[in-house]
């Protein structure tokens, strides 16, 4: 019997884990039809059709409309190939985005771990070389200008950077030693996605780190403590203070905002 070489609709549905009503619908709209129907109207599918069905289901999983899938499958071979290549590009782009989101979540967990350290306690930490992408020098300290610089900077990296606190501020140690309340930041920065010597080097070495919880109005107290500690211990600093908010967007009360300040000890 001819039908013994083919799959019944229920068998195919079970094989690919879909409802057989879906196969009925695909047949009705001309998207995926059986190899043949017998005199009773029963549908039978060839094993060679499973690959086409798998492609259809994969494209549906990616959110492609049925009309678009049908156009791809009924077009020329070149159009079919080109459409699949475009879809492959889309998939690779989504994978990159997912990797970016994964990295952001991982760093957020690291920030939370840092934020849980004893606040206002000075720690010595050792850092490896890393690279930063810097904004243009911040000549206008107004919030509007800083946000504009932030968005321009984020455009160089990722749409996910700014909303996830993947940025920070730099201010020279000279300014802060002269006046701990000085808020004329020199640069806005984000971490470079890869080591690239075209970007600003944050050199390896021993750093002082201090975690502060509270509003921006009293952040200068953190700098006061760091500076007094350095003077008392005879520690010389170099470069810039790096200031990054670790937790704020998930906190409704700004008193719970957590900021980390890092600064390099002079070699």
The share of the chain scoring above pLDDT 70, in percent, equals: 82
Give the separation between CA 156 and CA 152, rounded to whole angstroms: 7
Is 50 exceeded by the pLDDT of residue 94? yes
Is 80 exceeded by the pLDDT of residue 205? yes
> Does residue 243 sit in helix, strand or coil?
strand
* pTM, rounded to two decimals: 0.60
Is 70 exceeded by the pLDDT of residue 161? no
pLDDT (mean) for 228-238: 96
Mean pLDDT in the chain? 83
Q: Which CATH class is domain 112-265?
A: alpha beta
- pLDDT tens across 1-20, in order? 455 678 999 999 998 899 99
Residue range(s) occupied by CATH 1.10.1660.10 in the chain: 2-74
Q: Tell me what pLDDT residue 151 has.
A: 59
261 has which bridge partners? 210, 243
Q: Tell me what pLDDT residue 163 has.
A: 47
Residue carrying the six token digits 């009773």: 40
Give the separation between CA 259 and CA 220, rounded to whole angstroms: 12
Is 60 exceeded by the pLDDT of residue 74? yes
Residue range(s) occupied by CATH 3.20.80.10 in the chain: 112-265
- Between 166 and 46, the more confident residue is 46
Residues 6 or more apart whose Cβ sits within 8 Å of residue 103 = none
Q: DSSP string of 53-90?
A: HHHHHHHHHTT--HHHHHHHHHS-HHHHHHHHHHHHHH
Least confident of 59-63, 91-95, 252-256: 252-256
Please tell me the CATH code under which domain 2-74 is placed.
1.10.1660.10
């Amino acid at each position: 019997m001819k039908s013994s070489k083919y799959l019944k609709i229920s068998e195919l549905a079970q094989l690919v884990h879909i409802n057989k009503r879906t196969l009925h619908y695909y047949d009705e709209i001309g998207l995926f039809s059986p190899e043949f129907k017998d005199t009773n109207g029963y549908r039978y599918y060839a094993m060679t059709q499973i690959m086409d069905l798998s492609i259809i289901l994969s494209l549906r999983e990616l959110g492609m409309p049925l009309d678009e899938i049908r156009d791809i499958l009924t077009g020329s071979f070149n159009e079919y190939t080109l459409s699949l290549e475009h879809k492959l590009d889309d998939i690779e782009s989504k994978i990159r985005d997912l990797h970016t989101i994964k990295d952001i979540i991982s760093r957020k967990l690291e920030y939370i771990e840092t934020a849980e350290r004893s606040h206002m306690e000075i720690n010595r930490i050792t850092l490896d070389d890393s690279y930063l992408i810097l904004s243009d020098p911040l000549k206008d300290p107004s919030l509007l200008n800083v946000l504009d610089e932030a968005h321009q900077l984020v455009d160089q990296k990722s749409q996910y950077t700014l909303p996830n606190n993947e940025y920070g501020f730099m201010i020279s140690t000279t300014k802060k030693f002269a006046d701990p309340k000085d808020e004329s930041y020199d640069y806005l920065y984000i971490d470079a996605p890869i080591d690239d010597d075209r970007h600003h080097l944050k050199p390896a070495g021993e750093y002082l780190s201090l975690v502060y919880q509270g509003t921006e109005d009293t952040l200068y107290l953190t700098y006061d403590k760091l500076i007094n500690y350095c003077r008392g211990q005879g520690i010389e600093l170099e470069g810039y203070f790096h200031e990054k908010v670790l937790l704020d967007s998930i906190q409704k009360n700004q008193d719970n905002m957590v900021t980390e300040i890092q600064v390099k000890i002079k070699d």
